[in-house]
Amino acid sequence: MTFNEKTASRIRSTLKHTRGLTERQMFGGAAFMLDGHMCCGVIEDNLVVRVGPHAYQEALQEPHARPMDFTGRPLTGFVYIARDGYESDQALLRWIHRGLDFVSTLPPR
């Protein structure tokens, strides 16, 4: 799989001053990890955000969001957002913060 490098670059730029953040290849795309936990990433043209199990259904109600199901089975707590849903900088930032907010509740790995 490939990923949209422009989107990955936008995420990098947004998160460049975030302590504990690393990037690695995962799921055939770019994953951004906070203290060892994936918070967001990009696969093909989809933004991936880890919203957690409690915010999952709410996130799926958002325009352009759908379950992350690259294996044929949805990963509860992770959502794909189509490009139209994160095209603006404000929308991208809002989704990234949802991921950061969730993983910041997890103990560091």
Q: Residue 76: which domain range?
A: 5-103
What does the chain come to in residues?
109
Within a domain: residue 108? no
In this prediction, residue 70 carries a pLDDT of 75
Within a domain: residue 65? yes
Q: How many domains are contained in the chain?
A: 1
Query: Residue 9 is part of a domain; what is its CATH number?
Result: 3.90.1150.30
Give CA–CA dist 66/56, Å, rounded: 10
Within a domain: residue 59? yes
Within a domain: residue 74? yes
Asked if residue 65 lies in contact with residue 79, where contact means CB atoms within 8 angstroms, the answer is: yes
94 pLDDT more than 90: yes
Give CA–CA dist 67/36, Å, rounded: 22
Within a domain: residue 109? no
Q: What are the beta bridge partners of residue 44?
A: 3
2-55 residue pLDDT tens: 899 999 999 999 999 999 999 999 888 999 999 999 999 999 999 999 999 999
Which helix (H) or strand (E) segment holds residue 34: the answer is strand 29-34
Q: Provide the token pair at 102.
A: 């969730």
